[in-house]
Amino acid sequence: MSSMDWKAIIPVLLPFLSQRPANREDQEKLRKMERNTNDIRYNQRRLNRNITEKIDTLVEQVNKGCQQCKHHLRIRAAQKHKLDRVYEWNRALKKQLACFSIVILLLVLIVGYLLLKCYY
């Protein structure tokens, strides 16, 4: 190839090398496409930020709910513990009452026997 061929090819290759179209309409289309891609990127970032914020609020609500559940579970456990103590006290009282009634019955029998023995 002669040098004349290179001089003819350079103006044709120049727009591709600079990555900018030589045509004004093509430049405007390229700028519009760049603006659109920038807008799309901005919207994607905004949507991602909104999604992460919503996820964070949901996580906070779930954690708050779990803390309330833990609080209610603690209250229920305390109530159950108190109820268990009442049941134990009730069982112990029934045993004491049974023993006391047996002792009273024995005393009545002994006193009755002694009274019968004294009168006859």
**Which residues have a Cβ under 8 Å from the Cβ of 21 and sit 6 or more positions away?**
15, 27, 29, 30
Q: Indicate the pLDDT class of residue 8, thresholds 50, 70 and 90.
A: low
Per-residue pLDDT tens for 38-67? 888 888 889 888 888 888 888 888 888 778
pLDDT-based confidence at residue 17 (cuts at 50, 70, 90): low
Domain layout of the chain by residue ranges:
12-119
What are the two backbone dihedrals, phi and then psi, of residue 5, each rounded to the nearest 5 degrees?
Answer: -65, -40
